[in-house]
Amino acid sequence: MIWLLRDFDLLALLLRALSFSLEALAFGGVFFLLIVARPARLPGEDQAHLRRVASWFALALALTQTALLATTSVELMGSAGLGWQEVASEPFFLAGAVFVLTSVLLFCLLCLAERLAFSVVAMLIALAASVALSHAASRLDHRPLLLALTAAHHLGMAAWIGALAFLLIALRRASDPGIARILARRFSAMAVGSAAVLVLAGAGLAYFYSGSWQGLYGTSYGILLSAKIALTALILTLGASNFFVLRRAATDPTPLLLRLRRFGEAELGLGFTVVLAAASLTAQSPAIDESPQDTLTGRQVVQRMEWRWPSLHTPAFAQLAPPTPLSVAVREAAYTGGSASDANDRAWSDYNHHWAGLVVLAAAALALLSRLPRRRWAQQLGQPWPLLFMGLSVFILMRADPECWPLGPRPFWRSFTAPDVLEHRLFAVLIAAFAIFEWGVQRGWLRWPRARFVFPVLCAAGGALLLTHTHALGEGTGEVFAQLSHTPIAVLGAIAGWSRWLELRTDTGALSAQQPRYQRWAAWIWPVCLILVGMLLLDYRES
Amino acid sequence: MLLKRISLLGLTLSALLLLPQMALAHAHLVSSSPAANSAVHGPDVAIDLKFNSRVEIKGSMITLLLPGGQTHRLTLDSQSNDVNLDARTHLKPGSYTLRWQALSTDGHITRGEIPFGVR
């Protein structure tokens, strides 16, 4: 069982992230139907389609919660020796069971009944069960207030980001531009209200869980929360831009609605990055609970962020501490979260990050060069930028985990039991995949029309991955130092991915000067983000 | 349709790649007796773990790693309040490691260990 403990923890977190997303989508569907589609008199068949989509999200939510409940139950029965009846009497199990049943009920109601009143009741009961499984349920102080704020935060997210997915579906199906404009305007009004609820409730939760400004910048929880706030601010900017576009859409709405859809896609993508960040926050201890020795001071943060020239000298492999046998490491990691690194380990890691920074910087500079209009030489020189990422992928595979294959004694497959090793390898695969696809698209041998979207999607996925990246550095501030670099890189990665997406989706094939201004902006944003990522990697250090 | 699949792939990958930070979440150990790396007098040793949030005694456990490397699971006392896990045991002089697992009310499981000595 000890070998599986961390896998079960991983599975539980993964399912929780999926559950958050599906909850936002299922509840968002109910909100959209109730507040936007019905009053806008959307044709019956379109409403039925939206109800069907929302119902499938509700069913997927029920299945995800069932799997989550089963995972936790099996883990408890295996590790604590509990019987089935004992597990079933635990408060989390009861709340989870109610969540599953009401999600199934929501699925049935959305499938069978046109009236939404009962669906709203089922949604509210499911929401109560979801909140009973949050941080707020087990807090000692301000519990009722925290439960209410958590519920408001969930509802705000569903009515804004979850409902946005349904707006995009509805706009895609709408053949009448007049109805499309009414839908967008009604959604816009709902989004303003729900974003306000989301932000106010989030500010309240941040106040109680962070405890102080130091908690916001000096702990892993706070840094992740800051990233969430930054991404939310960006989504709000995109949303505000759409809001003002709609004000101009009274006369000829078609081109503006198309722009609104494209911005909405980027908004939705960034929105679900925020949802995933929220899920990874559930695996962190609130900042207010961290001890002073595990919290960075403002001075430490400033010192850490000061620019230092990168070190391109690595300790020899033989200088690293010999790895413990995997069976011992697995057992220890289950209880300690990993072991603290020594000076050689940190120098090894710094060297890896600095070389990665050089590669990303060079690739970004070439990508930027290839954007220069009317400079054929620059475009040809910059074109091979994806190939540099292939090299980075191999570099990560070789050096990221010196205790594992190919450098160390731990075998390739068994070392997957360490989540940070698994993460590094997934990084290598992600980077190689988007490099191959992008290179194939540029050279013209990959003719699949949607292949060009692989780079932005995987780049954004890599950003989301980094929001949760840990190095199993155990207790202390080492992990927080690492997060000071990783988290801004994650945010920049997500922005780079979705700005590239926006560039491609708004590409009309026109000459540069005739392209819409926002498309030209998007074309410059992502290489600049990659340059900043390279700079942050070059300034990386774990102390 | 293909575009939807790519988007779905992106979201799925993002979700798949979310990984946990172990032993640092939810039921967070606020204080313990014995404290980490401390030495206590034996043979009667009272163990008292205090958490930052409510914990469920049924899903929680305390195990001792004995000087010889064997493990011994302790019987938990009934809870004096919602945030404590208590146990009593008899220990000979030596080095021990206390390993705990806590189930918080919201269903999250956390673990940790406390090395200590008995004089």
Please say if the pLDDT value at position A339 is more than 90: no
pLDDT for position B22: 29
Identity of the residue in B7, B17, B107 whose CB atom sits nearest the CB atom of A96: B107
Are B90 and B44 a contacting pair, CB within 8 Å?
A: yes
Residue-level pLDDT at B19:
29
Model pLDDT, residue A301 = 92
Least confident of A205-214, A388-397, A477-486: A477-486
Cα nearest neighbour of B108 on chain A:
A72
pLDDT band at A65 (very low <50, low <70, confident <90, very high): very high
Query: Would you call the peptide bond into B34 cis, given omega within 30 degrees of 0 as the criterion?
Result: yes
Q: What's the N-to-C CA distance of chain A in angstroms?
A: 35
- Is a pLDDT exceeding 80 seen at residue A79? no
Residue A511 exposed, middle or buried by CB count within 10 Å (0-12, 13-18, 19+): exposed
**pLDDT (mean) for A243-251:** 73
Quick check: A450 and B82 CB within 8 A? no
Q: Which of A17-31, A56-70, A208-222, A477-491 has the lowest mean pLDDT?
A: A477-491
Mean pLDDT, all residues of chain A: 87
Residues A488, A448: contact at Cβ < 8 Å?
Answer: no
pLDDT surpassing 70 at residue A396? yes
Confidence of residue A164 (pLDDT cuts 50, 70, 90): very high
Distance in Å, alpha carbon of A402 to nearest chain B alpha carbon: 20
Taking only the tens place, the pLDDT of each residue in B76-90 is: 998 778 899 999 999
> Could you tell me the two tokens for A29?
């569907």
Best residue of A9, A73, A90, A441 to probe chain B, by most B CBs closer than 10 Å: A9
Go through chain A and tell me how many residues it has. Answer: 543
Query: Chain B within 8 Å of A134 (Cβ-Cβ)?
Result: yes
- Return the minimum-mean-pLDDT range out of A21-35, A93-107, A317-331, A431-445: A317-331
DSSP state, A158?
I
> What pLDDT does residue B111 have?
85
pLDDT band at A23 (very low <50, low <70, confident <90, very high): very high
Instruction: Kindly report the pTM of this predicted structure.
Output: 0.85
Which of the two residues, A234 and A325, has the higher pLDDT score? Answer: A234
Cβ–Cβ below 8 Å for A92 and B106: yes
In tens, the pLDDT along A98-131 reads: 999 999 999 999 999 888 999 999 999 999 999 9
Q: Strand order of the sheet with strand B29-33?
A: B29-33, B44-51, B84-90
- Name the band, by pLDDT with cuts 50, 70 and 90, for residue A379: confident
Q: Which two tokens stand for residue A76?
A: 């408890």
Report, as an integer, the average pLDDT of A11-29: 88
- SS3 state at A12: helix
* A273-311 as b/e: b if 16+ CB within 10 A: bbbbbbbbbbbbbbbbbbeeebbbeeebbeebeeeeebe
Output the pLDDT for position B20: 29
Residue A355 near residue A319 (C-beta atoms within 8 A): no
Q: Is the pLDDT of residue A183 over 60?
A: yes
Task: Nearest chain B residue to A18 by CA: give it.
Answer: B15
Residue of A61, A289, A471, A486 to mutate when probing chain B, most B C-beta within 10 A: A289
CB contacts of B62 in chain A (<8 Å) are: none
Q: Given a cut of 50, is residue A230 above it in pLDDT?
A: yes
